[in-house]
Amino acid sequence: MAYVIVLDPGHGGDQDGGTFNSYIEKNMTLAVAKAMKTYLENFEGVTVYLTREDDRAMTIQDRLDFAKAVNADYFISLHFNLSSLHTLYGSEVWIPSKSSYYNKMYGFADNVMQNFDAMGLYNRGIKTRLGKNGDYYGVIRIGTEYGIPSCIIEHCHMDNARDTFAIPVNEKGAFNSALANFGVKDGEALAKFLKLKSTSLGIDYSNYQSSQYKTKKSIVAPDETEPDVNEISLVSTDAAKGKVTINMHAVDKDSFILYYMVSLDGGNTFATLKDWPRSSWNKSLDDFAITLDVPRGKELNIVTGAVNSFDKITLSNVLNVKALSLTVDSKTTGDNNVESIDVKSITEAVEDISSRQVETITYDNILNEAPSNALGKAGSVSLFATCSVLLLVLMLAIAGKIFRKR
Ligand SMILES: [Zn+2]
């Protein structure tokens, strides 16, 4: 069996994709794609093409037309992510919603995610996203139309410290080898999936079993709803140490719980998102306890947010904790006050963005991957990042409404 693989370095030319500090997505995706191609070419029975080998603009349609012209068996689009509020983190793979294509891409996506897990990156899931005309992402939608199973790998977020260890910029050499490493890892994931063999590397994946996913539904739809339950309860307080332990309980029957965030002031401000523990990558724990460092001599109104893998949030009940009578000196600072997010200002910023964005993203904009048209002033944010942003917008808008009611 000989495979034709098309690798697609996202963005290019006047389309930078996401940019943050010194990160420029179009350059990063090209470096990963080149390394992935070089690695894969060590294997027998595979021909690899890139949609672009240099810094040039291409439409989504161009990219898939190229894949069709070379008779691609698989189309893999490579990206890096960011969110406008710099709050989200982790890696994800988007795959087709049509079940036969979903099933085809799932094993590869799972291999990719396993590598990211091993690197210490956080798994945001293997997911689908629907738009008005089928799959939301143009490369996946047109790929399915052309009979080419396609996916988008969002390697990590370039604007969140939880991820940027994987793309260190302090030294050019380290940065380049980190990008090359992503290419090798993605290549390895594909070589395993296709059961390839390399005489030159002495690697034989012909017996490798990638995980299989077989759904009976015709469409694998994303989770459109918030987590079903999010409840917190008091476990204990430790006045001497200024600590409060609470039990977190959240359930989402459609997906898994990805992050949590905590507010001590009734939901006015939240600390940054944190990992929600899981028993396996796609199964979150229903219950776990966290211990909070709390400010001294203050009444607390603890509220948490549970965020699912589609970035939808459910706020918890309010847990009122009377001011702890503290006897120890107050040199401990509650780490929940550090890096706190002012939800009110976020909500305003978000409403400002959403009024421009939500209505203006159209089928054509998605198809042509033209973030500068679709996003107005936020043109430097990649289309894919924007999706995360829009989800966050929705989640914060919901949060905002709830807060205003209180
Ligand atoms: Zn991108």
Does one domain contain both 112 and 259?
A: no
Location of structure tokens 């390697």: 155
Residue 79 has pLDDT above 60, yes or no: yes
Q: Please tell me the predicted confidence (pLDDT) of residue 395.
A: 55
Residue 349 in domain? no
Mean pLDDT on 245-268:
96
Does one domain contain both 197 and 261?
A: no
Torsion 168-18-155-281 (CA) sign: positive
User: Tokens representing 152?
Assistant: 């988008």
pTM of the predicted model as reported, rounded to 2 decimal places: 0.81
Residue 299 has pLDDT above 60, yes or no: yes
Does one domain contain both 48 and 137?
A: yes
The total number of structural domains that make up the chain: 2
The CATH number of the domain holding residue 310 is 2.60.40.10
**Which residues, other chains included, contact 245 with Cβ-Cβ below 8 Å and sequence gap of 6+?**
234, 235, 236, 237, 238, 289, 290, 291, 292
Q: What is the pLDDT of residues 360-371, one digit of tens each?
A: 222 222 222 223
Instruction: Pinpoint the alpha helices (H) of 134-171.
Output: 138-145, 161-164
User: Tokens representing 111?
Assistant: 């291999």
Residue 144 in domain? yes
- Ligand 1 center–CA 25 separation, angstroms: 7
- Ligand 1 center–CA 139 separation, angstroms: 12
- Ligand 1 center–CA 24 separation, angstroms: 10
- Ligand 1 center–CA 376 separation, angstroms: 17
β strands within 239-385, DSSP E: 243-251, 257-263, 269-270, 274-275, 278-280, 283-284, 287-293, 300-308, 313-315, 319-321, 341-342
Neighbours of ion ligand 1 (CB under 5 A): 10, 17, 79, 382, 384
- Ligand 1 center–CA 170 separation, angstroms: 23
Torsion 101-285-117-26 (CA) sign: positive
- Of 339, 369, 385, at which residue does a domain stop? 339
* Pairing of β 91-94 and β 123-127: parallel
User: Tokens representing 132?
Assistant: 């008005």
Q: How confident is the model at residue 43 (pLDDT cuts 50, 70, 90)?
A: very high
Does one domain contain both 165 and 249?
A: no
Q: Please tell me the predicted confidence (pLDDT) of residue 227.
A: 97
Residue 278 in domain? yes
Answer whether 61's CB lies under 8 Å from 139's CB.
no
DSSP state of 206: T
Does one domain contain both 234 and 199?
A: no
Write 99-102 long-range contacts (CB < 8 A, 24+). Answer: 99/215, 99/216, 99/217, 99/218, 99/219, 99/220, 101/143, 101/144, 101/149, 101/150, 102/128, 102/213, 102/215, 102/220
Residue 362 in domain? no
Cα angle 172-175-179, degrees, rounded to a multiple of 5: 140
Residue 133 has pLDDT above 60, yes or no: yes
- Ligand 1 center–CA 386 separation, angstroms: 9
- Ligand 1 center–CA 42 separation, angstroms: 27
Does one domain contain both 30 and 119?
A: yes
Q: How far apart are CA 400 and CA 346, in angstroms?
A: 9
Does one domain contain both 170 and 252?
A: no
Location of structure tokens 């710099």: 86
Residue 222 in domain? no
Q: How far apart are CA 24 and CA 21, in angstroms?
A: 8
Helix axes 343-357, 383-405, angle to 10 degrees: 130
Does one domain contain both 189 and 242?
A: no
Residue 375: how many CB atoms within 10 A of its CB?
23
Q: Please tell me the predicted confidence (pLDDT) of residue 171.
A: 84
- What percentage of residues in the chain have a pLDDT greater than 90? 72
Q: What is the pLDDT of residues 168-203, one digit of tens each?
A: 998 889 999 999 999 999 999 999 999 999 999 999
Q: How far is CA 75 from CA 101, 146, 195, 309, in A?
A: 12, 11, 17, 24
- What is the span of the domain harbouring residue 7? 3-204
